Amino acid sequence: MAKHIFVTGGVASSLGKGLTASSLGRLLKCRGLRVSIQKLDPYINVDPGTMNPFEHGEVFVTEDGGETDLDLGHYERFIDENLSRDSNATTGSIYQTVLAAERRGDFLGRTVQVIPHITDEIKRRITRLAADDVDVVITEVGGTVGDIEILPFLEAIRQFRNDIGRNNVCYVHVTLVPFIGPSGEQKTKPTQHSVTELRSRGIQPDAIVCRSEAPVPDSLKAKISNLSDVPLQGVVNAVDAKHLYEIPLMLHDEGLDDEVCRILGLPGEADLSAWQALVARVDASTRPVRIGVIGKYVSLPDAYLSVAEALRHAGYHHGAAVDVDWIQAEDVEGLLADGRLRDLDGIVIPGGFGERGIAGKVAAAGYARDHDIPCLGLCLGMQVMTVEFARNVLGLTGANSSEFDPRSPHKVIDLMDAQREVVDMGGTMRLGVYPATLVPGSKVAAAYGRELVYERHRHRYEFNPRYRSRFEGSGFVCSGVSPDNRLVEFIELDDHPFWVGTQAHPEFKSRPDRPAPLFRELIGAALERADGRRPRLPQLDAVALGGT
């Protein structure tokens, strides 16, 4: 039977509960255990698919087309397992199931209540991950202890220990130990209060992960241990890390996996050699490379979390430290004059919805095409590259996506016929993994090293096949198509170092030790541009100073 670990958070949100859960999952995998992991989100939305990225960050897409919380991206990157939509449940989806059962009459006229009906459904969601081939299920409970919405979840995980036996469940609580400047001290009181709140719900934590800016000394750990009834070896410190991938090693040094495995009676030792090698590679990745990401939500980089991680992974492959220049799409036209785009080594145009910022993205795609700047377009990014090429190379005045101009004379990006009639916001997208066949000899095929690839999708609009032959006659290569040849999935230019777009989101499948091929090639091309450009800079300075 699978063992269960529950990760809760206290004091403040954004403490890195998801990274703690992911890191613990990685450590358990390093001990030879088979791990599955999920997130329970207390908000009412049925899934994050329709939520504003400004509020919620990126929507992470699973292989089976689940639109999920961005923590699932951390889980996949750390644990290196593809998860499914079942790894994310919200209050909304839980109520939806219970209410549907109520409408069907499944409750036979009984009163339907939070306890036991909602809590039973929460427990069912937890248990469904405990397949025969799983040794440990990690369940992260979103939100913060003390929130109103979290109560049914705490009640469900409290009951869970009694249901499946004390030795099969471990509670890990992540808290903050803040540094109070004027007194020059780290404070344990917020942790005490948050543990008290958890215990008032009947949950005694087995381990406490103290997040802090500076290391928490043993004397404070002893105080926390004493006040919260957690053995000293269960009080571990997660001090701010240089980079995410260090966190598993830090938590291991603090003894978290040993303590959790002791509680759950799981044997074994962690073999961290592969992860240590990864961290060594990250630490040695210092070649500078500057990539502009032209987006609409750039003031909240979490909105592009998987894109940023995929860029970093690609950097590690090349020994490069990727410096992301977050560029507001609406500002691009102004920034062109300032040389901000000229100074980039590469450009990414990420996915998005809605018209705001489109003109800037089109301008960036055109600037990259004209100036040989490596450019990768992701989903909407590929669509704006197509629009740019149509307008400026094919001369199709007014070319656009029907998403932005339904009356455009040249809808080079359009809805497929079957989608026209459907209006449900949640139900009309092409979601999840789809195959594409790549054109032999193309840049994309060379990047993947294969001719059949599977990438994840999340979009409504497609390259309009009626325009395909016009594009293909002008150096624009449809270098990957759906196996039935109806949908264009990858595009590229013949005579450009790297101007590649994909209708998919390859960033979701990138792993720290296995970068997504197109990101890897983008960074490769960007480094070549950087190498070619930097030696020329002194000459430019000399010209500016009137020296030559």
Does 352 help bind ligand GLN (rule: CB under 6 A)? Answer: yes
**77 vs 456 by CB, closer to ligand GLN:** 456
Nearest-approach distance from CB 436 to ligand GLN, in angstroms: 16
Tokens 């909105």 belong to residue: 303
Of 234, 292, 295, 351, which lies in the binding site for ligand GLN, with binding defined by CB under 6 A?
351
- The residue count for binding ligand GLN (CB under 6 A) is 10
**425 vs 544 by CB, closer to ligand GLN:** 425
Q: Considering only the stretches 23-31, 43-51, 127-135, 452-460, report the one whose residues sit in contact with ligand GLN under the rule CB under 6 A.
A: 452-460
Instruction: Note the Cα 294 to chain centre separation in Å.
Output: 18
Tokens 């790549």 belong to residue: 438
Does 51 help bind ligand GLN (rule: CB under 6 A)? Answer: no
Q: Is-catalytic flag, 30?
A: no
The Cα 401–Cα 321 span in angstroms is 35
The Cα 529–Cα 496 span in angstroms is 12
Q: What is the residue-wise DSSP string for 489-538?
A: EEEEETTSS-EEEESS-GGGG-BTTB--HHHHHHHHHHHHHHHHHGGGHH
**161 vs 459 by CB, closer to ligand GLN:** 459
Beta strand pairing status for 67-68 and 60-61? antiparallel
Q: Which of 121, 140, 507, 521 is catalytic?
A: 507
Does 460 help bind ligand GLN (rule: CB under 6 A)? Answer: yes
Q: Considering only the stretches 220-228, 243-251, 347-355, 388-396, report the one whose residues sit in contact with ligand GLN under the rule CB under 6 A.
A: 347-355
Q: Please list the residues that pair with 499 across neighbouring strands.
A: 375
Nearest-approach distance from CB 358 to ligand GLN, in angstroms: 10
Nearest-approach distance from CB 377 to ligand GLN, in angstroms: 9
Q: Is-catalytic flag, 210?
A: no
**425 vs 545 by CB, closer to ligand GLN:** 425
Return the ∠ at Cα 361 (arms to 355 and 364), rounded to 5°.
165
Return the ∠ at Cα 44 (arms to 43 and 48), rounded to 5°.
75
Of 458, 509, 520, 529, which lies in the binding site for ligand GLN, with binding defined by CB under 6 A?
458
Amino acid identity for residue 434 in this structure: Y
Q: Please list the residues that pair with 289 across neighbouring strands.
A: 322
Does 498 help bind ligand GLN (rule: CB under 6 A)? Answer: no
Do residues 174 and 138 make contact, with C-beta atoms less than 8 angstroms apart? no
Burial class (CB in 10 A: 0-12, 13-18, 19+), 328: middle
**173 vs 509 by CB, closer to ligand GLN:** 509
Do residues 28 and 136 make contact, with C-beta atoms less than 8 angstroms apart? yes
Quick note: the x/- pattern for ligand GLN over 400-419, rule CB under 6 A, is ---x----------------
> If you ran DSSP here, which 8-state letter would residue 49 be given?
G
Burial class (CB in 10 A: 0-12, 13-18, 19+), 102: middle
Q: Name which of residues 73 to 112 contact ligand GLN (CB under 6 A).
A: none
Q: Name which of residues 365 to 404 contact ligand GLN (CB under 6 A).
A: 379-380, 403
Amino acid identity for residue 37 in this structure: I
Q: Which of 379, 410, 457, 496 is catalytic?
A: 379
Q: Is-catalytic flag, 478?
A: no
Nearest-approach distance from CB 336 to ligand GLN, in angstroms: 23
Nearest-approach distance from CB 389 to ligand GLN, in angstroms: 17
Catalytic residues, by residue number, are 379, 505, 507
Q: Where does this chain bind ligand GLN (CB under 6 A)?
A: 351-353, 379-380, 403, 458-461
